[in-house]
Every structure is written in C-alpha cells, then in structure tokens.
A and B are shown apart, each in its own frame.
Chain A
Amino acid sequence: METLDKLPGIIGYALINPEDGSIEELKGSSSAPIGDLTAFFSSASDAIKSNLSLGTIKYISLCYGAHRLVVFPHEAKYLGVEIEKDNDPVEFIKKFRLAITGITKPKFVIPRSMSSKIKQINVVVEEFGGQENKSHWLQLLNQGLGILGGDILPYVGIVEGELAFKTKPPEDKEDEFIQGLRAIIDFLAKKAVEEMGSSQARAKIHAVIEKMR
C-alpha cells in the first residue's frame, strides 16, 4: 500500500480482509474510525448487493462532516480511503488505479518556511523515538495531524517513515499551514514531557535544536 502513502489528498486508509472482516492495515491521520467503517460497510454491502441485485460492488462512498470514505475492492480485499468530501469517488478510484501501475515522484518546490517545519518534525520524531520507538512517535504524529493539522491533511502524509508533502500546497495557505505544523511540534513536545519527564524531554528538544542549526 505504499502507493497510497505517496498519493496526494489521502487522509487515511484501511485495508480489510473480507473473509473475516479483520483490519490488515490502518494508516494515516484520520480521526474517524475508518477501519471499522470500511469493515462493517463492506460486509453490509455484501448482504445488500445480493438482496437488491446491485451486481458486483464498484464502490461505497460514505460522507461525514468534511470528509468522504471511499471503500472499494482491491486485490480480493476491501480498501477504505478517506479523502475530502468534495472529491469525486469515481475520479479518485481512477487516480488510484493509475497510480498503482507505476507512481512517479511528483516534482514541486515547497516554500522553505514549510519544508523546514516538516524537517523539524522529522528530526523530532527521530530524536524522540530513535530507531526502536519510531513507530510509536509516528503514531503520535498521525494523532497530532488528525486533531491539529486542519486543511494541511490532504497535502502531507507519512511516506517511507517520514512526514512529507505529497503535493504542492496552495501558496495562500502558507501561514495557516505553518501554524498547523507548529502546533503539531508543540503537541509532540507535550507528549515527550508526559512520556519521558521534563528534563529528558528538554534534552531531546535541545538536541533537535542543535540538529536544525
């Protein structure tokens, strides 16, 4: 599912085994229960399609608040992907199918102010988690993105273990996005204090500042 990590516009996704409804993979910064939604609605669609003769399910789309979950069959499993509500599910699935045939890294330039914040977050995760605890800090980073990221969510994601821009963010949102990224750094620092105590957290933050120089 690495393709999904790199595809812009994706807030989170879940991969479901249709045999037993188990969640095989759950990634991203969605704050909705997308694993359960994908599992339960794909199972419900199996019952409904036979009852109402819908034929093979092409997709299910659920809208809630400002988001949309598109659930569709993929390699004998069900994939549920959260995107923004305004996106068309059919277009999204087309884009996904095209992407899995061979994704090319998009070329774009991110303003320095934003790229340095992204770098800072990656250094924070690296410093706080080290190699052995990195996945826990990436999980916390996703939590922080979900509750504090706001409009930045469709543009960023964890790609190959690092926070990265998946597409060029709109220029008029630069200030807002920087504020969001700052809030996420504060959130991670707060978590560090809770988990390591204030003196160790301070030392780690100091190490981050040194690395950023």
Chain B
Amino acid sequence: MEQNILNAFEEKGLVCSFVASKSGKTDVSVTGEPLKNKISQMATVIFETIGVIGEIKIDTIEMIGESKGLLMELEEKNFVGGLFNQAENLTLANLWARISELKDQLTAAASRKRSEIKLEANVLDKIRAIVGDYLGDFSERIYQNQLKKQNIKPEEFHDEDAHILIFGLGKAAGMIIGPTKGREMTNKLLALLK
C-alpha cells in the first residue's frame, strides 16, 4: 500500500520519496529503490540523533547539499521525505507541498492519525489553574508563550500536545521557581493526563 502511494507521487514530481519508521522499516518509491539501504541508514542516524537530544519535538528537517537535498516531515515514530537532485528551477516550497500531501495520504491509508487520545474538554483550564498556583503573575504569559512556541492549537488539543506543553511549562517554571518546585508542578500536570 505504502509503496503504491510513494510510486504515485513520482508522477507528481517527488522522484525519490520514502517513509521510514523508528523500527527500521523503510519504503522507497521505485526510482529510489537502489538507495533503499542508504536511506534506511540515514533514517537510523536521524532517529538516533533526535533520541540523543531528546527534549525537543522536531517537525521538519531540510538538509541541502551542493548536489542533492533531503526534505523530511517527522512524526513521533516515523518520517516521510524526499531526496532530490539540485536543479536551477527547483522550488523547495513545491517539494514541501508534495511531501505534506504524501504524508496525509499515507496517514489516511494507515488510518493512523496523530495521537487521538481524547482529553477532557477542560484539561487546558486545569493545566492553567495549576500553572497559576505555582507561577502566580508569570503564569499567563508563560502559558501563552508555550502554546505559541510549541505550535499548539487549543481547539485541536491531543494527548501528545499535552505532554509537550507540560514539559515546556515545567522547564520554564524551573527557571522561575527552581527545579524542585518545577518538577513538582510537572508531576501534578502529568497526573491530569492519567
């Protein structure tokens, strides 16, 4: 299924597209087939690099060389991307649009949307209240900054977002009220998700 979708995107201009998972499974469109092992090794390097850094959720990676370039859109356990040859008339924005489209189709095909664990509608209010207890006057500004920084939309608030938001708030809180209190606040916030 994934192979067919990747191949279909070759006709749309995404010549060597791929989807690589953390488990090591890699699918490559037909033109990229000879590079499958190398793409798989590249994926391992990317996952290991992200694993070492740990504390940040990377959405996209663009690695541009003199001869070729790589574009990748990341999720927690896999990424979708394309390898392309440099050319005069190349527009990265077009390639990014294709990769996004490809990712959507792969996601739909696998019926595997981003974490959909339903959170209580008022969980954000509860988070806000706890942050208010710990950070007082600073709380609203820090809360809003974190939502913006982490690109979280309250109207589309998923379990995965909640974890990212909580750890971001915890880190910021640590700088104001110290690491011990910051950790205590983080634990209280995490308890909301149980």
Contacts and interface: CB of A to CB of B under 8 A. Distances in A.
Contacts of B172: 31, 147
A144 B172 CA distance: 9
Contacts of B142: 147-148
Interface in B12-60: 35, 38-39, 41-42, 45-46, 49, 52-53, 55-60
Nearest to B172: A147
A56 B65 contact: yes
Contacts of B141: 148, 150, 179-180, 183
B67 A55 contact: yes
11 contacts: A36-B52, A36-B53, A40-B52, A45-B63, A54-B64, A54-B68, A54-B69, A63-B60, A65-B59, A148-B138, A150-B144
Given A33-B56, A57-B65, 9 more contacts: A40-B49, A44-B45, A48-B45, A49-B65, A52-B70, A62-B62, A65-B149, A149-B145, A151-B148
A33 B145 CA distance: 17
Interface in A36-68: 36-37, 40-41, 43-45, 47-49, 51-67
Q: Max chain A CB contacts within 10 Å: which of B67, B148, B176?
A: B176
B185 interface: no
A187 interface: yes
Interface of B: 35, 38-39, 41-42, 45-46, 49, 52-53, 55-70, 83, 86, 137-138, 141-142, 144-145, 148-151, 171-172, 175-176
Q: Max chain A CB contacts within 10 Å: which of B141, B144, B151?
A: B141
Interface residues of A, number: 44
Given A41-B49, A52-B39, A65 B63 contact: no
Nearest to A57: B65
